[in-house]
Amino acid sequence: MTGPGNTTETRTDPYAASDPYAATSRETTEGTVYTVTGGDWDEMVDQTAGDERIVINMGPQHPSTHGVLRLVLELSGETVTDARLVIGYLHTGIEKNCEYRTWTQGVTFVTRMDYLAPLFNEAAFCLSTERLLGIDVPDRAATIRVLLMEINRIGSHLVALATGGMELGALTGMTNGFREREEVLHLLEFLTGLRMNHAFIRPGGVVQDLPTGHEERIRAFVKVMRERMPGFHKLLTGNRIWRQRLQGVGYLPLDGCLALGVTGPILRSAGLAWDLRQVDPYLGYEHYDFEVPTDTAADSFARYVLRVEEMNQSLRIIEQALERLEPGPVMVEDAKIAWPARLSIGADGMGNSLEHVRKIMGQSMESLIHHFKLVTEGFKVPPGQAYVPIESPRGELGAHLVSDGGTRPLRVHVRDPSFVNLQAAPAMSEGGMVSDVIAALASLDPVMGGCDR
């Protein structure tokens, strides 16, 4: 943190005394820099009394920044006069890595971007790939994708509620949110084999069909969630402290959302019912009956209420998807693309089943060579570029893919909603109290894996 009219930063002072936790200060060209811990805050405030401004760092390692995000806040007293966001601490180079992998291998990279909504990353990437290929996936595969994404949407929103509650001191909201999310992860593990980073959605369809007993497990999940969802309203919605912390905080009206490109629950909390599942349907969403909840309060409380209602709508879609799940293939018939669906899991939960190995080895040498080339080299995609957006839990998620006609993408770029929505943080926070920054940021629900892809 800094002294008179200068910049202040919270950091570990390498020149501090032998006690690493002692409150110390040193002079720099930018002013006095203080190193403080929680217990030293009052002492620091006394030392900086009368300063024109104080600049503090919130993050990048901070329990209120949804991962490795750094906020540089300029304060006048406890009022935020300027807020700047610094990103890039979690950069993985996923987009660039995809240019050195086949189109199928790219799925295993993009699923790790927004790690709370991996199935949406996979779907956007595969839909863009399929547009370049000029193919449509079978109806059963499209329905399975919808089913998995809506289950994933519930899990993502539960994390938003849980982490938001934790950051604002509602610890029971946190424990309940993560308890319900475990139901989601258990179900996804049963359906796909993994709790996260599934790589289950592949170009042309999905890896394999749903396991035996999937309908009973999914219906049991819907029943449990319908029983537990009212608990959030009982615990938080009517809670006076929760309302006081969120209502009127993080205000961003409709014109501000449109100017900044903000989408998802933040945009809908300002009154615009913009949901790509309805305004630009994909994967057959036009055949599902569900509502797009909106509000006009445009504050953090409205976004909380909308996410709870969106989970209820996802449960409606899941039930309809089960009814629409007709027998049929889960991968396109083109053998030059369809190899992933021919894989099946062995008894140990890893590798290929013996039946599948016998089938490949026992057909012909040409069949074995073809399978080997598909796995190692991949399939070719016609030259061109495509962009397909979908509605992720945080807003518009789109994959822009460029092909030069080879077996690998020439360019991969993802329009991640966390990256775009974070632009709204200063508009939501400046002029408010420093404590309200946490509530505003929590209502954005950014995931830095998608932001720093």
Using CA atoms, how far apart are residues 306 and 311, in angstroms rounded to an integer?
9
Indicate if 394 and 366 belong to the same structural domain.
Answer: no
Assess if residue 289 is contained within a domain.
yes
Indicate if 309 and 436 belong to the same structural domain.
Answer: yes
Indicate if 346 and 240 belong to the same structural domain.
Answer: no
Indicate if 355 and 423 belong to the same structural domain.
Answer: no
CB atoms within 10 A of CB 316: 15
Which pLDDT value is given to residue 141? 93
Indicate if 264 and 208 belong to the same structural domain.
Answer: yes
Assign 35 to helix, strand or coil.
strand
Indicate if 400 and 432 belong to the same structural domain.
Answer: yes
Indicate if 112 and 130 belong to the same structural domain.
Answer: yes
Categorize the per-residue pLDDT at 408 as very low, low, confident or very high, splitting at 50, 70 and 90.
Answer: very high
Categorize the per-residue pLDDT at 184 as very low, low, confident or very high, splitting at 50, 70 and 90.
Answer: very high
Mapped to the 3 state alphabet, what secondary structure does 410-431 carry? Answer: CEEEEECHHHHHCCHHHHHHCC
Assign 388 to helix, strand or coil.
strand
Which pLDDT value is given to residue 89? 86
**Total residues found in the chain within this entry:** 453
Which pLDDT value is given to residue 169? 84
Which of 359, 377, 395 is the endpoint of a domain?
377
Bridge partners of 84, per DSSP, are: 72
Cβ-contact 440, 103 below 8 angstroms:
no
Assess if residue 66 is contained within a domain.
no
Which pLDDT value is given to residue 335? 77
Say which residues have a Cβ less than 8 Å from residue 162's Cβ, sequence separation at least 6. Answer: 173, 174, 175, 176, 177, 178, 181
Assess if residue 61 is contained within a domain.
no
Assign 275 to helix, strand or coil.
coil
Cβ-contact 390, 123 below 8 angstroms:
yes
Indicate if 239 and 329 belong to the same structural domain.
Answer: yes
- Give the mean model confidence (pLDDT) for residues 177-198: 91
CATH number at residue 264: 1.10.645.10
Say what angle helices 139-167 and 171-192 make with each other, to 10 degrees.
Answer: 160
Residue-wise DSSP of 69-82: -EEEEEEETTEEEE
Assign 27 to helix, strand or coil.
strand
At 290-318, the pLDDT tens digits run 999 999 999 999 999 999 999 999 999 99
Residue 391, pLDDT above cutoff 90:
yes
Which pLDDT value is given to residue 2? 46
Which pLDDT value is given to residue 97? 92
Bridge partners of 411, per DSSP, are: 402
Residue 396 phi, psi dihedral angles, 5° rounding? -70, 120
Indicate if 357 and 413 belong to the same structural domain.
Answer: no
- Give the mean model confidence (pLDDT) for residues 81-93: 87
Using CA atoms, how far apart are residues 191 and 311, in angstroms rounded to an integer?
19
- Give the mean model confidence (pLDDT) for residues 398-423: 93
Assess if residue 285 is contained within a domain.
yes
Assess if residue 35 is contained within a domain.
no
Please confirm whether the linkage preceding 382 is cis (ω < 30° from 0). Answer: no
At 250-297, the pLDDT tens digits run 899 999 999 999 999 999 999 999 999 999 999 999 999 999 999 999
Whole-number mean pLDDT of the chain? 84
Residue 157, pLDDT above cutoff 90:
yes
Assess if residue 64 is contained within a domain.
no
Using CA atoms, how far apart are residues 64 and 46, in angstroms rounded to an integer?
25
The count of structural domains within the chain is: 2
Indicate if 412 and 343 belong to the same structural domain.
Answer: no
Say what angle helices 365-377 and 354-363 make with each other, to 10 degrees.
Answer: 120
Using CA atoms, how far apart are residues 252 and 328, in angstroms rounded to an integer?
46
CB atoms within 10 A of CB 154: 26
Assess if residue 236 is contained within a domain.
yes
Which of 352, 377, 402 is the endpoint of a domain?
377
Indicate if 345 and 438 belong to the same structural domain.
Answer: no
Residue 370, pLDDT above cutoff 80:
no
Amino acid at 137: V
Assess if residue 133 is contained within a domain.
yes
Using CA atoms, how far apart are residues 244 and 218, in angstroms rounded to an integer?
37
Continuous segment of H or E residues that includes residue 373: helix 365-377
At 10-64, the pLDDT tens digits run 444 444 445 655 556 778 776 777 666 655 556 666 666 555 678 788 877 766 6
Residue 450, pLDDT above cutoff 90:
no
Indicate if 193 and 253 belong to the same structural domain.
Answer: yes
Which pLDDT value is given to residue 288? 94
Residue 71, pLDDT above cutoff 90:
no
Structural domain harbouring 356 = 339-377
